[in-house]
Chain A
Amino acid sequence: DAKTTQPPSMDCAEGRAANLPCNHSTISGNEYVYWYRQIHSQGPQYIIHGLKNNETNEMASLIITEDRKSSTLILPHATLRDTAVYYCIVRYLGTGNQFYFGTGTSLTVIP
């Protein structure tokens, strides 16, 4: 159901860019890619989303490949507060319109 594949864990040095990959090879033409993160014991926090163009906001950048089968979330200057589980989600436009979260990538930012 998840429709996305992410590495289970990654480390990143504080101040460096964190690049989190996601594979979504079965994505359909009008399905958006969303990224959320969840800091321990809190609700998921929206980061960014996109369809086919690269997107940037105050939190992150989203790079989507031309074939849309994969994407990368970039945190340009990781801080300790960015330590969290990051979820890449393809919103399924079928029954329920729900998000399938999968198990995400646990990012640890190292001082």
Chain B
Amino acid sequence: DTGVSQDPRHKITKRGQNVTFRCDPISEHNRLYWYRQTLGQGPEFLTYFQNEAQLEKSRLLSDRFSAERPKGSFSTLEIQRTEQGDSAMYLCASSVLWGPQETQYFGPGTRLLVL
């Protein structure tokens, strides 16, 4: 299967710990997005990359959140000093831009529970 993959699928951590999630996009997709989804809400945009450049990060929830895409392929999202409010589903999507058209393909998500 050549879809978007995310690892781990589930993560339980204690408050104050750091966590890192990985996303592997569809090959040849140069754009990669991170979203957060809380219960009953639609996905909320966090940040995105075009190749290795992070073009938008103002929506990251706090300075505890950071993302990288060092070689323009896979990406990582790190949350430092986790809080219970960080419990959510973290989704990754990848795409290729065709003029104004851009279809994003989503991974299965990483569900985080902070105790």
Write the residues of chain A forming the contact surface with B, with a CB cutoff of 8 angstroms. Answer: 2, 30-32, 34, 36, 41-46, 49, 85, 87, 91, 93, 95-104
List the A side residues contacting B107 at CB < 8 Å: 43
Contact B41 A32 (CB under 8 A): no
Cα-based distance from A100 to B43 in the complex (angstroms): 8
The listed residue (A32, A45, A96) touching B56 by CB distance below 8 A is: A96
Interface residues on B, range: 20 to 34
List 20 additional contacts besides A31-B100, A45-B106; criterion CB under 8 Å.
Answer: A2-B42, A30-B100, A34-B103, A36-B106, A41-B109, A43-B108, A43-B109, A44-B43, A44-B106, A46-B104, A46-B106, A95-B56, A96-B45, A96-B48, A96-B56, A96-B59, A97-B48, A98-B33, A102-B42, A103-B40
CB <8 Å contact, B101 and A32: yes
Interface contact tally, CB-CB below 8 A: 63
Interface status of B28 (Cβ within 8 A of chain A):
no
13 contacts between A and B (CB under 8 A): A2-B42, A43-B93, A43-B107, A46-B105, A49-B103, A91-B100, A93-B100, A96-B45, A96-B48, A97-B48, A98-B48, A98-B56, A103-B42
Question: Which of B43, B55, B105 has the most CB atoms of chain A within a 10 A radius of its CB?
Answer: B43
Contacts of B40 in A (CB 8 A): 103
**CB-contact partner of A44 in B59, B91, B102, under 8 A:** B91
CA distance A93 to B43 in the complex (A): 18
